[in-house]
Amino acid sequence: MSQYKNIFVNSEVSKIVLKSIIENKKINFKKLGILGIKKKILLLKKKYYIKKNKNSEINYKYEIFWRMVEEKYNKKVNIVKRSQKQKEKNYNIIYSDFANVVGYLPSLLTLLIFDDQIKKLIKYENFFKDLKILGDFDNISSEQKISFINKIQKGKISIITPLCPDYEHVYIGLGLYKYTFNKLNDGLGLIGKRLIKIINKIHKVLNDYKIPFEHITYYGDFEAYSKEICKRVGSTEKEFISKLKLSSKLIKKSVKEINFAGLLVEELSNKKKWNSLCRKNKKIIQTKLNSDNNFKKLIFDILSSRMDLYKSWYPNLNKKKYINLLIKQGAEYTSMGDLFSEKIKNPVVFGLDHPKMGVFYNINVNIPVLYGKPKYV
């Protein structure tokens, strides 16, 4: 996965690269960790010298680059001369409006290299604002925004909302719930109830911006394959799946806006293939965990955020077993991502469970994953 998938080049690297271009010095792309955008930087350098040869007067160091930004985005950058009494002309460049769109104050090199992606974010800025407010969505990263925009530009999107089984849960106040996992019911489930409350608002935003879509929901029937879970809720695999089928019928009956409701493995795979896919993805995640320190930190961060849930679910495990549980569940999310990408046209995941788990959908594929704010602890 490219480190520039998040359209980000830090300010220090930006300064080094642009200074090297101005002084016509060699750029060590590998050392700076920017091999992935080498071609774009070399093209930028070529354009810089074409413009420099046409401009005899330059008022400040990065003026040509900022003129290029103005041309790319068809907007004026606010340039304010500093008041210090120095021989050298000093200016402040004010461009904080870009931060509102991208989610951070981008470096000059970021604006120059990733202009196509940033212009997409600018175009759909109000859409994402409305989606976040009306749909009560969690923070949407620039990476996921661009991934979503790329999907809607292909045509009709297939929104998929995975639903958890109707595990027993209790209200604890402040709009939050807690799973007890004492039994399995055949109702909508906590995530299903949450979807019903916000689905019309989400669909309204999509319709307002004339984005064609269908909405699909799948209950996680693969959880019935776990002997531990069945024992925890006092159910057999057959009983478990029978209850999920009732849940599926109920949500389709309750929400006419849902185009299809079913069981995930039953509709997209089978038990044997699913278990094989999960085993393969578990190995992939374990290998990544052992070889990638950043991914390792991410895994421990996710684990920390899910410990209360895990202790309610499996109260007697040690830390190593909780890590194994997270890897197992992560492999299930990865397998869902694989199936969505393979079986469903133009898929987009709208999740309502735990936002931090969204990273696992894209271990092997690239599909947009947007999350509503969680309402359980």
Would the pLDDT of 86 be above 60? no
181-217 pLDDT, tens digit per residue, is: 999 999 999 999 999 999 999 999 999 999 999 999 9
Give CA–CA dist 216/207, Å, rounded.
17
Would the pLDDT of 370 be above 70? yes
Tokens of 194: 């949450």
Of how many residues is the chain composed? 377
Residue 83: band (very low, low, confident or very high) from pLDDT cuts 50, 70, 90: low
User: Looking at residue 100, what is its pLDDT?
Assistant: 78
- pTM greater than 0.85 (yes/no): no
User: Looking at residue 260, what is its pLDDT?
Assistant: 96
- Secondary structure class of 94 (helix, strand, coil): strand
Residue 60: band (very low, low, confident or very high) from pLDDT cuts 50, 70, 90: confident
| Average pLDDT score over the chain | 91
Would the pLDDT of 88 be above 60? no
6 CB-near residues (< 8 Å, 6+ apart)? 141, 142, 143
240-298 pLDDT, tens digit per residue, is: 999 999 999 999 999 999 999 999 999 999 999 999 999 999 999 999 999 999 999 99
Would the pLDDT of 85 be above 60? no
Domain 124-371 has CATH 3.30.1330: no
316-326 pLDDT, tens digit per residue, is: 888 889 999 99
Give CA–CA dist 197/219, Å, rounded.
18
User: Looking at residue 10, what is its pLDDT?
Assistant: 92
Residue 3: CB atoms within 10 Å: 13
Spans of all domains in the chain: 3-120, 124-371
Residue 68: CB atoms within 10 Å: 19
